[in-house]
Amino acid sequence: MSGPDADRRPAENSEDEKKTKLGSFKKAISNSFNKGRRNSKVMSFPMDDIDAEELKAAEELRQVLIAEELLPSKHDDTHMMLRFLRARKFDPEKTKQMWTDMLQWRKEFGADTVMEDFEFKEIDEVLKYYPQGHHGVDKDGRPVYIEKIGQVDSNKLLQVTTMDRYVKYHVREFERTFVHKFPACSIAAKKHIDQSTTILDVQGVGLTSLNKSARELIQRLQKVDGDNYPETLNRMFIINAGSGFRLLWNTVKSFLDPKTTAKINVLGNQYQSKLLEIIEASELPEFLGGTCTCADKGGCMLSDKGPWNDPEIMKMVQNYGEDREADTKFPSRTTSGNMESGKKELGKKESGKKELGKKESGNKESGKMEEKKVSEEEKIISEDEKAHPNRSDSICSDTFLEAQDMHMDHLSPVPEEGNYVGNEKEEKLKAALTALEHQLCATKQAEVEKEQKLKAALDRVNALEQELTETKKALEEARVKQDELLASVGKEKKLGLFCW
């Protein structure tokens, strides 16, 4: 064969070979995860959406955590490690520190048992003053979380519960999401789900909507979410944003990471079509432009609609959960042990890689030759994939908390490395918001003074009107008396004339 087709064939073959080697390497890394997992019962799905560079980084982090006894079997999950890596822009040391701090926090807070130990009896009252909840899934299978920020009454909220109890409730719901809701969504969507789509209705929210107690609560929730549940927000829609909210948002977003702001869509009152692009009408509440009413559940905000209410799906989730719980009861299945245990795991993983390489090559090559082959594939990947950007969109379940915390106060941000602005930027942001607050206070004071002057003027006008009314009345009485006097004089003149 001659001509262009002949010239094109070598390039096509070369491209096919690269793709084959890339797929082989990704498969080797993925299988090495599964083979080295000390009977971990983490629900796993195909990792086609993760590139080889990220898989490699997660595997390296995993080996470090194993070696330092920082990887309980319940957390031996590639996707979880990737969330922490993305939160720290794939910096190994910062990621390890974040992971270590998370494990310590879970131990001190009691996060592993909060679902069983903590009962939140005041939930019905809390939802009256802080309307929130999951409702359905988006078109990609992610759970949809809705909050009506404009209806939050922080004073009444803290009358029916305490700040500590609310934080504990918040953690319990996050744990429930990871234990029940994300796995249920994953089964329903037939792919791994560990992020949510959030809708925040800020109708009525302005620059001074939340008081000091509300801001303190938001700050605590923000820290918990950002430090321990990073990268759980896929996208956020802020709807019914008025002029006051937009003014603050324009100030805050200049200090945020572009990847963070890219996840947040600030919309006015014409938001319905945008939401319907992401969420099916049957999954969206009627008050947001969908068709769902959940009339038999007391309304959409109370229904907790989603795949986690499907008995068949939850049976599968429960079986997986029981297996994982059994895993943690046997030390031989966990990472707790001595350093030698970690070394053995590393040996098992390498052995797994070699065995996989033998099966793929279809021959009896030695482990040494297979390692060389994997090394060559790694080299090809590093050349071809070097330009691939890290997918580090640092933001958590309520990123909007970051902006709300800084005064508008309800965006549950994530103080992660991806969107962490640093001490200097944070100080600048606080200074800008303080100046904005002072300007607002001055404006309010001027408005108060103007109102007082207007009221004084109106009072003066009313007083003048009263005086005028009284003057008119006096003049009318004088006129009547004058008429009576004139009539009397005229009568006397007539009588005098008659007598003469």
Mean pLDDT score across all residues of the chain: 77
Question: What would the two tokens of residue 393 be?
Answer: 């969109």
CA-closest candidate to residue 349, choices 70, 17, 43, 76 = 76
Mean pLDDT, residues 198-219: 82
**C-alpha angle with apex 291: 285 to 293, nearest 5 degrees?**
55
Q: What's the CA gap between 326 and 313, in Å, rounded? A: 20
Predicted TM-score (pTM) of the model is 0.65
Q: Is the model's pLDDT at 434 over the cut of 70?
A: yes
- Per-residue pLDDT tens for 296-345? 999 999 999 999 999 999 999 988 767 666 655 554 444 333 333 334 44
3-state secondary structure of 157: helix
- Whether 188 and 310 have beta carbons less than 8 Å apart is answered as yes
Q: Which of 4-13, 126-135, 191-200, 477-486 has the lowest mean pLDDT?
A: 4-13
- DSSP assignment string, 242-277: -HHHHHHHHHHHTTS-HHHHTTEEE--S--HHHHHH
The residue type of 190 is K
Q: Is the model's pLDDT at 46 over the cut of 70?
A: no
Q: Which of 252-261, 358-367, 453-462, 463-472 has the lowest mean pLDDT?
A: 358-367
Q: Are strands 132-137 and 143-148 parallel, antiparallel or unpaired?
A: antiparallel
What's the half-sphere exposure (Cβ side, CA atoms, 13 Å) at 373? 19
Q: Which of 118-132, 429-443, 472-486 has the lowest mean pLDDT?
A: 429-443
What's the half-sphere exposure (Cβ side, CA atoms, 13 Å) at 280? 11
Mean pLDDT, residues 439-468: 78
- DSSP assignment string, 416-465: -TTT--HHHHHHHHHHHHHHHHHHHHHHHHHHHHHHHHHHHHHHHHHHHH
What integer pLDDT is reported at residue 365 of this predicted model?
Answer: 46
